[in-house]
Amino acid sequence: MKIDRARLEYLKKDAVQGFTRYLGLVPVSLKPGDFVTRIKLQKRHFQQDGFAHAGLIATMADHTAGYASYSLVPESRRILTIEYKINYFQPAEGEYLECHGHVTKPGKNILFTEAEVYSIKGKDRKLVARAMHTMASVPATRVSRSSSTPAASND
């Protein structure tokens, strides 16, 4: 599949809306199957001990890997997360979180992805989490909320 520059630019923008806009996600670079994003850490991102919330990190990993997947499927398809596993190596603090999401196995209906999340403080960069996801590529018509067809599902 040929992936044109315009499509990648579109997806980079499309990645920031709704929940990810609310969280402050910033796209850094998107190549086919490979997406990098950042979030500038603020108080609203912290949990009770002053670390970036595990849920924020997981969201970033999931979303970044999801849009890495988007870059490898036709425009007529949508990506839904089927499942993932995430390991937290150490509590995250610092100025930024940076996430690298990449497709480890593309496929017509199922894509495997992985993502690493780093905390960045000045020149200090630490791996704080790694995730492995299974993504479903489904026809866009199946996830249309306004349609009267049955709701989207993973099969």
Identify the residue among 2, 50, 123, 149 touching a second copy (CB under 8 A): 50
Cβ pair 119, 128 in contact under 8 A? yes
Identify the residue among 29, 31, 40, 55 touching a second copy (CB under 8 A): 55
Calpha distance 12→36 (Å, rounded):
10
Q: Which of residues 108-147 bind a second copy (CB under 8 A)?
A: 108-112, 130, 132, 134, 136, 143-145
> Can residue 26 be called a binding residue for a second copy (CB under 8 A)?
no
Sign of the C-alpha dihedral computed for residues 115, 121, 126 and 129 taken in this order: negative
> Can residue 107 be called a binding residue for a second copy (CB under 8 A)?
yes
Smallest gap from Cβ 149 to a second copy, in A, equals: 13
Greatest Cα pair distance, the chain, in angstroms, is: 52
Calpha distance 42→49 (Å, rounded):
14
3-state secondary structure of 56: helix
List residues near a second copy by CB under 8 A. 14, 17-22, 43-51, 53-56, 58-60, 62-63, 66, 78, 80-91, 93, 104-105, 107-112, 130, 132, 134, 136, 143-145, 151-155
